[in-house]
Structure 1
């Protein structure tokens, strides 16, 4: 099956496969949202079935919860778990300091809550997501529906004083209607091109009335696992200052992901 995957999907699969090796019996695990995280959930489900791994998964979206249950992972809420050993999730961008932009799938609010309630956050990605400076990927902010246009105007006013290259803002749509998050909120995407001071911007955005959370993850990620289309995997740990290189041997008969779509 993996022989039919595109190079980018092979890279996601490789990173996901490597990341679940960090999971140990008895752990409580945050399960991310998005196409790369979906590979991870499937790989983790394989370990649960084949190794009788006993874990509890805390999903970061309704769609991740459905997938986790489908592959045999026991799902609990964050309130039940209280604290997690590790969260594994994808990212839309990451820089050299492991700062991230997340929220391309509209789940960054729950993703940030779960990640910050974990001893460790592991990000799984492909090499294309690494950037020198954050901002090429639109930065999402989640806003409550009441007065969202006022919140949007206040954000645009704030951006004038921020170190960013662009200031276009757009309401995320789902066809002809606004996209609605799992929490019932809207998403506004900020097309900034370059973010000069991500920490300052994150703090300022969250002071605006109506803004629930933004997609900047600052000082949250501990480990980045980067997959490549040829099966190579690079694991960087910011706390240990280490870089480890491995190679995954693709198994052509593997049919774990035949029904997985982005």
Structure 2
């Protein structure tokens, strides 16, 4: 396991050990770091006989929960969650985050919004002073397919540079779990005081379903560092 994977695992394990307790309803996010969070949750469920109910944020998260032998539910049955664990593409000094590199940010945001605690687990590459300082792919925006052309036109009016995300080993655009397209919008480096304004402006465009800006949502972030430590903000 290389340093980055070790860092992800340390962050995820520490977060689960500090936050998880018996009889919780737990949101399970998407991405590579969450794999380790699920691994640790499953270990603790088996060794401590914990009663944990898991709510997924994507097809991937659902498969992780099932394969780990954890109890699966959904947001319609458990709309009040105790905690949600998720990764991030980048996190700034104020705990604002970009999510959606994997195209799952709509369901991730719904689960995070309904959790008493929203915990981000990530490695050292995701820790920044400002958003888009290291993450150079733009803000992921989930868009209704029939509206993507006018949406991109209006995103340009907000001084963004939108790009329709194309599939890898698939002809045409990426399609989310919800059947929508993803447009990645480059606004350059974003200082914290600009985020809410940009997020609201994007939400006001008809056809925009959700953005990958998670502004003021995270309660805590665990970063696995290169030197073997875990930084908690």
- TM-score (norm. length: structure 1): 0.83
Q: Offset of 1:56 from its aligned partner?
A: 0.4
CA distance in 2, matches of 1:135, 1:114: 24
CA distance in 2, matches of 1:89, 1:111: 8
Q: Offset of 1:230 from its aligned partner?
A: 4.3
Q: Offset of 1:229 from its aligned partner?
A: 3.8
CA distance in 1, matches of 2:222, 2:228: 12
Which residue is equivalent to 2:225? 228
Work out whether 1:121 is the aligned partner of 2:114: no
Write out per-residue CA displacement over residues 135-193 of structure 1, whole angstroms, 9 at most, x where no aligned residue. 2422100001112111111111122xxxxxxx321111113221011110000001222
CA distance in 1, matches of 2:184, 2:130: 18
Partner SS for 1:178:
coil
CA radius of gyration, larger in: 1
Of residues 178, 185, 194 in structure 2, which corresponds to 1:190? 185
Of residues 163, 171, 175 in structure 1, which corresponds to 2:164? 171
Contact 2:124 2:226 in 1 (8 A): no
Moved over 6 A (4+): none
Work out whether 1:74 is the aligned partner of 2:67: no
Q: Offset of 1:210 from its aligned partner?
A: 0.2
Partner SS for 1:188:
strand
CA distance in 2, matches of 1:168, 1:203: 17
Q: Which range is displaced more, 130-139 or 96-105?
A: 130-139
Contact 2:154 2:205 in 1 (8 A): yes
Q: Offset of 1:234 from its aligned partner?
A: 2.0
Contact 1:46 1:71 in 2 (8 A): no
Q: Which runs of 5+ in 2 are unaligned?
A: none
Work out whether 1:11 is the aligned partner of 2:7: yes
- TM-score (norm. length: structure 2): 0.93
CA distance in 1, matches of 2:86, 2:155: 27
**Matched pairs, number:** 225
CA distance in 1, matches of 2:97, 2:189: 13
CA distance in 2, matches of 1:230, 1:31: 27
Work out whether 1:157 is the aligned partner of 2:134: no
Q: Offset of 1:128 from its aligned partner?
A: 1.8
Q: Which runs of 5+ in 1 are unaligned?
A: 160-166, 237-262
